[in-house]
C-alpha cells in the first residue's frame, strides 16, 4: 500500500475535524503546488535529471526553502534509485513520505504545548505588529476556555495605539478577563500585575501579549528580556512557552522575523497565521527545517476554531489530497 493511502486511512478514520480543516485551509497552496507537480508527472515518461530540476523549481516556488529543497531532492533521488522507481507518477508518493520525514526530523515533532497540569501555565507571545498576534491569543483563549480551563489575558503591548482595546474585544468575545494598565505604561509592570492576578484567582492559563515594533529592535528585545525576567521571578520555570506568531503570507520575511526574535528570547514554538491565505504554504517546512523550532499552531481560516494544532501528517495530506484522490478515481474508472 502506498504511503499516501496509509496516511489517508489513518487520518480519515480519526474522529476530529482537523484533517478536513487542513484540507480546506491549504486549498491555495495545493492548487498551486499539486497542480504543478501533476503537470510535471504528466509530461515526463521517465525520471531523469530534467525531471528533478523542474521539481526543484516547483518546490522553491512553494517557499519550501532552498536548503530544504536540496535535501529533499537528494533523498528523492536516493529513494527512486533504491526502489527502482520508473514511473514519474510514483514519485508523488515518495515526496509525501519524505516531506513528513523532513518535518519530523526522524522523530515526532513536539507540537504539544507545555501545559502545567497542577499549576499556572504562562504563555508569552512575541512577533511583529500585524501578524495576527492578538487574534491568535483570542482564539487560544477560546480553545482553553472551551476545555474548561480558567484563562486570563495580559495586555503587555502598551505602545501600539488600540492594542489594549483590541485585546479587550477578544476578552469580551471569549468571556475572559484582561489585566491591563494605561497606554504607554511599563510592559513588565503589566506582567507583574497579571501574574499576581492569575495567582490570586487561581487561573490555569495566563496568555501574555507583547509589543512588536521591530523598527526599534534593540529597545524591543531589552523590553522582552525584562518581561521574561519578571515572569520568571514570580513563577519559577515560566514562561512555559514563548510562541512567536508569524504571517504565512509574508514568506521568507517571516523567517527573518523568527531569527530576530530567536536571538532575544528562547522561542519554543511557532504559530503560523493566515496559512489559508497563501499559495506558498511550503514555508512551514522551511521554518521547521532552518530554525529548528516546531510549528505548534496554524491559522487555517477566520473562524474561532480555525486555529489548529499543527500536525505534519495532516499538513502533507492537505497538500496532496486532491491529486491522489483524482488518481484513485481514475484507477477505479479504468477498472470499470
CA distance 65 to 134: 28
- 167 labelled ligand-binding: no
**Residue 19 is labelled as binding a ligand:** no
* Residue 322 marked ligand-binding: no
Provide the β-strand partners of residue 241. 123
Q: Are 273 and 135 in contact (CB under 8 A)?
A: yes
Task: Collect all residues with Cβ–Cβ distance below 8 Å to 152 and sequence separation of at least 6.
Answer: 176, 177, 178, 179, 194, 197, 198, 201, 203, 205, 206, 207
Q: Is 156 annotated as a binding residue?
A: no
Q: Is 101 annotated as a binding residue?
A: no
Q: Are 317 and 11 in contact (CB under 8 A)?
A: yes
Binding residue per annotation — 209? yes
The owner of cell 499516501 is 4
- Does the annotation list 235 as a binding residue? no
65 is annotated as contributing to ligand binding: no
Distances (CA, A) of 253 to 152, 248, 258: 31, 9, 9
Q: Is 233 annotated as a binding residue?
A: no
Three-state DSSP at 126 gives: strand
Q: Is residue 148 part of an annotated ligand binding site?
A: no
Query: Is 301 annotated as ligand-binding?
Result: no
Is 130 one of the annotated binding-site residues?
Answer: yes
Q: Is 15 annotated as a binding residue?
A: no
Give the torsion through C-alpha atoms of 160, 164, 166, 167, to 10 deg: 130
- Give binding residues for GTP as ranges: 127-134, 209-213, 273-276
| Known binding residues | 127-134, 209-213, 273-276
Amino acid at each position: 500500500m502506498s504511503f499516501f493511502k496509509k496516511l489517508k486511512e489513518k487520518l480519515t478514520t480519526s474522529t476530529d475535524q482537523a484533517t478536513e480543516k487542513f484540507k480546506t485551509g491549504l486549498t491555495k497552496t495545493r492548487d498551486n503546488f499539486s497542480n504543478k507537480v501533476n503537470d510535471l508527472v504528466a509530461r515526463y515518461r521517465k525520471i531523469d535529471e530534467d525531471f528533478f530540476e523542474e521539481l526543484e523549481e516547483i518546490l522553491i516556488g512553494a517557499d519550501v526553502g532552498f536548503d530544504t529543497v536540496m535535501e529533499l531532492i537528494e533523498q528523492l533521488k536516493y529513494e527512486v534509485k533504491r526502489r527502482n522507481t520508473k514511473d514519474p507518477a510514483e514519485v508523488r508518493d515518495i515526496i509525501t513520505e519524505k516531506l513528513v520525514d523532513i518535518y519530523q526530523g526522524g522523530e515526532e515533532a513536539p507540537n504539544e504545548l507545555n501545559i502545567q497540569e497542577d499549576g499556572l501555565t504562562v504563555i508569552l507571545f512575541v512577533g511583529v505588529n500585524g501578524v495576527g498576534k492578538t487574534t491568535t491569543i483570542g482564539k487560544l483563549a477560546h480553545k482553553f476556555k472551551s476545555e474548561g480551563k480558567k484563562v486570563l489575558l495580559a495586555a503587555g503591548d502598551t505602545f501600539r495605539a488600540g492594542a489594549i482595546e483590541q485585546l479587550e474585544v477578544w476578552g469580551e468575545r471569549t468571556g475572559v478577563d484582561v489585566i491591563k494598565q494605561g497606554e504607554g505604561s511599563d510592559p513588565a509592570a503589566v506582567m507583574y500585575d497579571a501574574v499576581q492576578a492569575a495567582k490570586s484567582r487561581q487561573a490555569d492559563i495566563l496568555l501574555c501579549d507583547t509589543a512588536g515594533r521591530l523598527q526599534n529592535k534593540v529597545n524591543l528585545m531589552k523590553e522582552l528580556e525584562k518581561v521574561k525576567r519578571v515572569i520568571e521571578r514570580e513563577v519559577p520555570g515560566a514562561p512555559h512557552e514563548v510562541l512567536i506568531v508569524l504571517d504565512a503570507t509574508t514568506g521568507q520575511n517571516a523567517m527573518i522575523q523568527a531569527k530576530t526574535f530567536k536571538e532575544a528570547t528562547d522561542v519554543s514554538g511557532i504559530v503560523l497565521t493566515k496559512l489559508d491565505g497563501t499559495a506558498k504554504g511550503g514555508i512551514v517546512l522551511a521554518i521547521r527545517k532552518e530554525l529548528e523550532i516546531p510549528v505548534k499552531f496554524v491559522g487555517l481560516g477566520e473562524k474561532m476554531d480555525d486555529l489548529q494544532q499543527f500536525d505534519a501528517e495532516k499538513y502533507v495530506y492537505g497538500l496532496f489530497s486532491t491529486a491522489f484522490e483524482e488518481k484513485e478515481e481514475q484507477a477505479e474508472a479504468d477498472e470499470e
